[in-house]
Amino acid sequence: MNIQTQPRLSAAESALIDAYNASFGDLPGNGAVASARDRLLDDLKTNGLPTRRIEAWHYTDLKTLLRAVPTETSTAVIDAQTPFVAGSPVLAVLQGKIDTKASVEGVVVGAFADMLREGTAAPGLSVIDGDDAIGRINGSFVRDGYVLEVPADAELETPLEIQAIHGGGQVHTRFPVSFGANSKATVIERHAATGDGAAFVSSVSDISIGDGADVTWVIVQQQGADDTHLGQIRIRVGADAKLKLFVINAGGKLVRQELRIDVAGENAELTLRGVNLLGGDTHTDVTLVLAHNVPNTSSTEVFRNVVFDRARGVFQGMIKVALDAQKTDAKMSCNTLLLSDDADFSAKPELEIFADDVVCGHGATVADIDDNHLYYLMARGIPENKARAMLVNAFVAEIVEELEDEQLVEALEGIISAWLVKHA
Amino acid sequence: MLEIKNLHARIAEDGTEIIRGLNLTVKAGEVAAIMGPNGSGKSTLSYILSGRSDYEVTEGEILYNGESILELDPAERASKGIFLAFQYPVEIPGVATMQFLKVAMNEQRKARGEEELTTPEFIRRVKESAAELKINMDMLKRPLNVGFSGGEKKRAEILQMALLQPQLCVLDETDSGLDIDALKIVADGVNALKSPDRATIVITHYQRLLDYIVPDSVHVLYKGQIIRSGDKELALELEANGYADIIGAAA
Ligand SMILES: Nc1ncnc2c1ncn2[C@@H]1O[C@H](COP(=O)(O)OP(=O)(O)OP(=O)(O)O)[C@@H](O)[C@H]1O
Ligand SMILES: [Mg+2]
């Protein structure tokens, strides 16, 4: 980290520090948790929010972009929404608070607030590295979340939906989830806003995938037009495990979604997919740090972005292959459709390879809609607007179709087309 | 139905003139064949008829049913009944073929002020036409033209034509890439659409297709102009002697 000389606090930084002080005694946690929180907040005071001078935040200068942090929390009554997949069990998190009576068949459900009070959460209230601003903010302020354990060999028949919904204000949640050996499950992590009140949301999902488990995790981010969303998912993948991770960003004003993945067991197979639907005057950053730490693992990463209006998008994708992670097979691509002259997308794929017997590659493209495709559709009588929408939709829908659950595919396609109707 | 008068057109990007004073008239009910050496401008002419923006008309006129179509975009021309079966249909990943067919049919209907098709009616029509063209319905579950073989793409073009029921059909080398059986099936598909109020322009290099789709007129396109017109005998003459004599006579 670089040394800062007398940092001048931005309005957002002051507001965060004030909010922390104001919630003294109110944030759940025993002594160990309280001191962990204090340490994280001290770091925040000393370092401030990250700026473009920090490499990991180069394209998302949080200090400048985060203008304000709301202090008022909405008191609106919020109801859980119908799940994406009919019949899914829903674990609602309304205004940052879980339903303590919620239960899901076959899953052990606990409250993160309890872990805070008991102090078992303290070791986890840490940063991944010195630039982990999301870990820092979330660790300082987190109040609640679900703690889930899918037992070994369990198989969940329908996707489980974590539904984090708010009506504005500050919301800080954390979801420690463990998938036992040879278990099989699909989890949807959905973040959405109901009201108009601006929100400042941080959410960390801390996931461990046991050997031989088969996990699909879908993050759907549909925050409101004035919301800041700082999301982080930390995943440790065991041997012979399969992970499919899908991220859809379709909302928010200022969004950073970090994917921090450690491949820790041999023969693990990862499928990472992302769709960013960006419009208006917004800033959205997806940052992936994927570490292949052991031999014989494979991953494919495909990110598709469509950018309208004055929206700005960022994809940072770092694949690290450790010295003894021989036979790693990793392929990353990031394709962007820029649909307006003022739209902007920065892609920064990176490989850091220490092993010598690996197949790794990456590619990034930025394009407009293919004129030949547009002409073909129009030559069949499809008006230009409609033809364009079809092609944009096709560009991202391809990714979604890789999910096996048909109802889930339909639900996500629905999100995409609804978004396009509104923004295209 | 179609009157092309002294048409000059160039590539928009670099200004190269491809069509250089072309005249052609095709009447309702007529089947006109256009032949000509590689690179003479046959595909370019078909693109210009369909309204592709890569080409600019600098002089002349295209009248369709008595009205100029030069100001219309490809979608407007299509909904007025102009259809081009492409020499090289493009693959469009992510667009499901069935969805594409449905949107195309319904958008054309909407543009003409007709009711949209119900889903069952749409599917019935597709099944019927696909069966006639011996197209497997499984193929239509794939993204548009993606992974279709050369012959399958051509058949899919004719399927679209059958479903869209155009008034002016332009077939650009629909015979290339087709095996003998497929050629017969496709020709039957084209002939099935023949009617007194429809016209067809068949671009081809080979007499073989014209044995099945018998032309009323044959035109030789060379360096952007029609240099010779005749009846179906002209195609046989070309098949026997090549273009040299005709080009020599025109020069
Ligand atoms: N967009 C373009 N850019 C550059 N050159 C072009 C373009 N379109 C057409 N041409 C050129 O114009 C000429 C006519 O091409 P066109 O495809 O119309 O020929 P054709 O008669 O259809 O030939 P073929 O029998 O091989 O299909 C060729 O020399 C071709 O290279
Ligand atoms: Mg051609």
Position A1 scores a pLDDT of: 52
Q: Quick one: pLDDT band at residue B244, thresholds 50, 70, 90?
A: confident
From the CA of B43, how far away is ligand 2's center (Å)?
4
Q: Closest approach of chain A CAs to the CA of B92, in angstroms?
A: 6
Tell me the mean pLDDT in the region B79-107: 95
Ligand 1 binding pocket mutation candidate from B10, B11, B44 (most atoms within 8 A of CB)? B44
Distance of CA A319 to the CA centre of its chain: 17
Position B251 scores a pLDDT of: 67
Distance of CA A385 to the CA centre of its chain: 31
Name which of B66, B67, B52 is nearest B19 in CA terms: B52
Strand order in the sheet with B55-64: B17-26, B2-11, B55-64, B67-68
- Return contacts of A395-401, CB within 8 angstroms, 24+ apart: A395/A304, A395/A306, A395/A335, A395/A337, A395/B94, A396/A275, A396/A277, A396/A304, A396/A306, A396/B94, A397/B94, A398/A304, A398/B93, A398/B94, A399/A246, A399/A273, A399/A274, A399/A275, A399/A302, A399/A304, A400/A246, A400/A248, A400/A275
User: Which ligand 1 atom is nearest residue B37's CA?
Assistant: 25
pLDDT exceeds cutoff 90 at A76: no
Q: Quick one: pLDDT band at residue B17, thresholds 50, 70, 90?
A: very high
pLDDT exceeds cutoff 90 at B248: no
Instruction: Check if A394 contacts B (Cβ < 8 Å).
Output: yes
Task: Report how far residue A107's alpha carbon sits from residue A209's, in angstroms, rounded to the nearest whole number.
Answer: 14
pLDDT exceeds cutoff 70 at B204: yes
User: Which ligand 1 atom is nearest residue B224's CA?
Assistant: 14
Tens digits of per-residue pLDDT, B150-172? 889 999 999 999 999 999 999 99
Chain A residue closest in CA terms to B108: A381
State the DSSP string of A364-412: EEEE---HHHHHHHHTTT--HHHHHHHHHHHHHHHHHTTSS-HHHHHHH
Position A125 scores a pLDDT of: 96
Position B177 scores a pLDDT of: 84
- Decide if A381 and B79 are in contact by the 8 Å CB cutoff: yes
Tokens of A283: 């800033």
Tens digits of per-residue pLDDT, A380-400? 999 998 999 999 999 998 899
pLDDT exceeds cutoff 60 at A155: yes
**DSSP conformational letter for A335:** E
Instruction: Check if A17 contacts B (Cβ < 8 Å).
Output: no
- Decide if A380 and B100 are in contact by the 8 Å CB cutoff: yes
Position A3 scores a pLDDT of: 56
pLDDT exceeds cutoff 70 at A11: yes
Tell me the mean pLDDT in the region B170-189: 91
Position A7 scores a pLDDT of: 59
User: Which ligand 1 atom is nearest residue B36's CA?
Assistant: 21
pLDDT exceeds cutoff 60 at A254: yes
Position A298 scores a pLDDT of: 98
User: Which ligand 1 atom is nearest residue B173's CA?
Assistant: 27
Interface test with B, best of A365, A371, A378, A385 (most B CBs within 10 A): A378
Q: Looking at beta carbons, which residues of chain B come within 8 Å of A373?
A: 90, 92
Tens digits of per-residue pLDDT, B211-231? 999 999 999 999 999 999 999
Higher pLDDT, B180 or A278: A278
Instruction: Check if A393 contacts B (Cβ < 8 Å).
Output: yes
Nearest Cβ partner of A390 from B54, B74, B103? B103
The answer to whether A235 touches A264, Cβ cutoff 8 Å, is no
Position A74 scores a pLDDT of: 72
Name which of A393, A404, A408 is nearest A275 in CA terms: A393
Position A424 scores a pLDDT of: 73
User: Which ligand 1 atom is nearest residue B45's CA?
Assistant: 18
Residue nearest atom 3 in ligand 1 by C-alpha distance: B11
Residue type, B23: N
Instruction: State chain A's mean pLDDT as an integer.
Output: 94
Position A5 scores a pLDDT of: 55
Tens digits of per-residue pLDDT, A329-388? 999 999 999 999 999 999 999 999 999 999 999 999 998 999 999 999 999 999 998 999
Residue nearest atom 7 in ligand 1 by C-alpha distance: B11
**% of chain A at pLDDT higher than 70:** 98
Position B250 scores a pLDDT of: 73
Apex B132 CA angle, B94 and B165, nearest 5: 70
Q: Quick one: which ligand is closest to B17's CA?
A: 1
Instruction: Check if A402 contacts B (Cβ < 8 Å).
Output: no
What is the maximum span of chain B, computed from C-alpha positions, in angstroms?
Answer: 57
Nearest Cβ partner of A380 from B93, B94, B164? B164
Tell me the mean pLDDT in the region A42-52: 94
- Decide if B160 and A393 are in contact by the 8 Å CB cutoff: no
Name which of B47, B32, B34 is nearest B18 in CA terms: B47
The answer to whether B1 touches B64, Cβ cutoff 8 Å, is yes
Instruction: Spell out the alpha helix ranges (H) of B51-144.
Output: 74-79, 97-111, 119-132
User: Around Cβ A283, how many Cβ atoms within 10 Å?
Assistant: 23
Chain A residue closest in CA terms to B81: A381
3-state secondary structure of B173: coil
From the CA of B23, how far away is ligand 1's center (Å)?
18
Chain B residue closest in CA terms to A388: B95
Task: Give Cβ neighbours of residue A74 (< 8 Å, ≥ 6 apart).
Answer: A95, A166, A167, A168, A169, A195, A197
Position B239 scores a pLDDT of: 87
Q: Counting one residue from A and one from B, how many pairs have CB atoms under 8 Å apart?
A: 72
Q: Quick one: pLDDT band at residue A8, thresholds 50, 70, 90?
A: confident
Q: Quick one: which ligand is closest to B47's CA?
A: 1
Task: Give Cβ neighbours of residue B219 (< 8 Å, ≥ 6 apart).
Answer: B24, B32, B33, B34, B35, B226, B228, B229
Tell me the mean pLDDT in the region A254-258: 98
pLDDT exceeds cutoff 80 at B2: yes
Tell me the mean pLDDT in the region A90-119: 96
From the CA of B11, how far away is ligand 1's center (Å)?
10
The pairing of strands A214-222 and A312-321 is unpaired
pLDDT exceeds cutoff 70 at B137: yes
Q: Quick one: pLDDT band at residue A4, thresholds 50, 70, 90?
A: low
Position A2 scores a pLDDT of: 55
**DSSP conformational letter for B198:** -
Please count the CA atoms within 13 angstroms of the CA of B27 that sit on its side-chain side.
Answer: 6
- Ligand 1 environment, Cβ below 6 A: B 11, 18, 36, 38-44, 54, 87
**% of chain B at pLDDT higher than 70:** 100
Interface test with B, best of A273, A376, A400, A409 (most B CBs within 10 A): A376
3-state secondary structure of A214: strand
**% of chain A at pLDDT higher than 90:** 89
Q: Looking at beta carbons, which residues of chain A come within 8 Å of B78?
A: 378-381
End-to-end CA distance of chain A, in Å?
A: 41
Position A71 scores a pLDDT of: 81
Task: Report how far residue A416's alpha carbon sits from residue A414's, in angstroms, rounded to the nearest whole number.
Answer: 5
Q: Quick one: pLDDT band at residue A196, thresholds 50, 70, 90?
A: confident
Tell me the mean pLDDT in the region A256-261: 98
- Decide if A395 and B107 are in contact by the 8 Å CB cutoff: no
From the CA of B53, how far away is ligand 2's center (Å)?
17
Instruction: Check if B74 contacts A (Cβ < 8 Å).
Output: yes
Position A72 scores a pLDDT of: 73
Position A404 scores a pLDDT of: 85
- Decide if A376 and B92 are in contact by the 8 Å CB cutoff: yes
Tens digits of per-residue pLDDT, A286-317? 999 999 999 999 999 999 999 999 999 999 99
Instruction: Check if A384 contacts B (Cβ < 8 Å).
Output: yes
